[in-house]
């Protein structure tokens, strides 16, 4: 009579927040659309569309320290590649598969990640976590977010028009049909997202800065442009003045205890 013992190594979960301080870095590894990661002429043999990502910059030191097999990156939503993630950062969890070491000095690893990222990405508040927190993180993807967008208008704008935007975009539901820019990878649906508050400041004759506190999942660029009528209402529609988003920043991922914070 013989018995076999099977050893299962549970994943190690490390949670924290990240800030993305530069534009044009994706949150997760973006495989080349031509070779799907194998490496080709289009991607220069890297197998990737972008040389680095938040996921890779944050995960590498932890994977090496834990001597794990691979990592999975979980986050509460994601920002556009050309948007920065500022404020206190976006909550995330790194899941390390089959770690050989579980007792890590997270303070030292936090410093190592930030040094390795060279000012492009910063992580903070690293702590050990669990699978349950990953589930809660995913449920929180629709939590409130705060954005700042620089807008360029086709025609000159007045202070009265900016006050009109604040009045007409605060406390309303926005209807958004799947944006044209993501239609190739997302179902063509109409989604409703709530805007809690909008504040607008004039920057120049044809430019303004708008801060939006809204339900997660709102397409902010399309809120500005109107996306050929697929987002209603929009800045372009309300002012009858074609508007274009120039720069977008995520200022805050608002957790439950922060839900009463107002745009500043």
Neighbours of 60 (CB within 10 A): 16
HEC per residue, 43-87: CCCCCECCCCCHHHHHHHHHHHHHCCCEEEEEECCCCCCCCEEEE
- Is 132 marked active-site? no
Question: Which residue is associated with the tokens 């920002």?
Answer: 79
Are 92 and 73 in contact by the 8 Å Cβ rule? The answer is yes
Q: How far apart are CA 229 and CA 75, in angstroms?
A: 31
Strand 121-128 to 144-153 pairing: unpaired
Catalytic residue among 80, 152, 160, 256: 80
Nearest to 126 by CA among 249, 16, 243, 11: 16
| Phi–psi pair at 210, nearest 5 degrees | -115, 130
Sign of CA dihedral 166, 188, 251, 84: negative
Structure tokens, 43: 């991607």
Angle between helices 106-117 and 54-66 (to 10 degrees): 140
By annotation, the residues acting in catalysis are 80
């Amino acid at each position: 009579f013989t018995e076999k013992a099977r050893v299962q190594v549970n994943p190690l979960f490390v949670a924290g927040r990240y800030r993305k301080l530069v534009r044009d870095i994706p949150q997760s590894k973006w495989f080349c659309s031509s070779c799907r990661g194998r490496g080709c002429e289009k991607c220069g043999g890297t197998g990737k569309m972008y040389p680095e990502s938040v996921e890779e910059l944050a995960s590498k030191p932890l994977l090496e320290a834990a001597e794990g097999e691979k990592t999975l990156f979980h986050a509460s939503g994601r920002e556009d590649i050309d948007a920065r993630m500022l404020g206190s950062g976006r909550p995330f969890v790194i899941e390390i598969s089959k770690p050989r070491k579980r007792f890590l000095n997270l303070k030292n690893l936090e410093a190592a990640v930030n040094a390795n990222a060279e000012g492009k990405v910063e992580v903070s508040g690293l702590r050990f976590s669990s699978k349950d927190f990953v589930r809660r993180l995913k449920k929180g993807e629709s939590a409130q977010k705060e954005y700042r967008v620089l807008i360029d208008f086709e025609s000159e704008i007045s202070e009265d028009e900016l006050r009109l935007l604040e009045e007409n975009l605060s406390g309303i539901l926005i209807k958004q049909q799947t944006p044209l820019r993501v239609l190739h990878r997302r179902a063509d649906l109409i989604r409703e997202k709530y805007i809690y508050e909008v504040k607008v400041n004039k920057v120049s004759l044809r430019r303004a800065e708008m801060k939006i506190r809204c339900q997660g999942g709102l397409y902010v660029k399309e809120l500005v442009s109107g996306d050929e009528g697929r987002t209603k209402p929009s800045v372009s529609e309300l002012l009858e003045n074609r508007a274009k988003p120039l720069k977008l920043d995520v200022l805050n991922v608002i957790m439950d205890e922060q839900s009463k914070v107002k745009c500043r």
